[in-house]
Amino acid sequence: MAKSSSHGMLKWLGLAFILLLLDQLAKILILAYYHPGESTYVTSFLNIVRVHNSGAAFSFLAGASGWQRWFFVGIAVAAVILILWLLWSHAGQKLFSFAMACILSGAIGNVIDRLLHGYVIDFVDFHYHRWHFPAFNVADSAITIGAACLILDELFRVRRSR
């Protein structure tokens, strides 16, 4: 059992690694070509902008005195350990494992930022007229896609059990 679980887990870790590389490459490019706050108009609803987020989603706790950096790192490390265990024990469940791989890559991508810079680098900026969505990055997108897939997986599981 352990051998097949670890073998099945490798493809999900590979996916997480590819997503992590995409996230980090995008952030390297943003750091190289943009100053903080600088943006490029792409469409009427999308800008590329360099934002430093010391908080969590939607800049939650961004104004705190610095302790939040280590708090969020701790939460992410705990999540990574749990996700690795879940991937090992459920590697055959495709949608669930896809979701876990996405969330894993996002958690690690944002932890790397926090450890290297003290903040997360965000750069995708959606807006429409006066409405503005907080800037985000590839890691945030992976976490969001993973969470949506977890919900779908649970809905499918409940439906199958009826």
Show the CA angle centred on residue 14, arms to residues 110 and 84, nearest 5°.
Answer: 65
Given 23, 113, 122, 125, which residue is catalytic? 122
Secondary structure (DSSP) of the chain: -HHHHHHHHHHHHHHHHHHHHHHHHHHHHHHHH--TT-EEEEETTEEEEEEEE-SSGGGTTTTS-SHHHHHHHHHHHHHHHHHHHHHHHSTT-HHHHHHHHHHHHHHHHHHHHHHHHSSEEEEEEEEETTEEPPPB-HHHHHHHHHHHHHHHHHHHHHHHH-
> Is 122 an active-site residue?
yes
Marked catalytic residue, from 113, 125, 140, 153? 140
Is 113 assigned a catalytic role?
A: no
**Residues labelled as active-site residues:** 122, 140
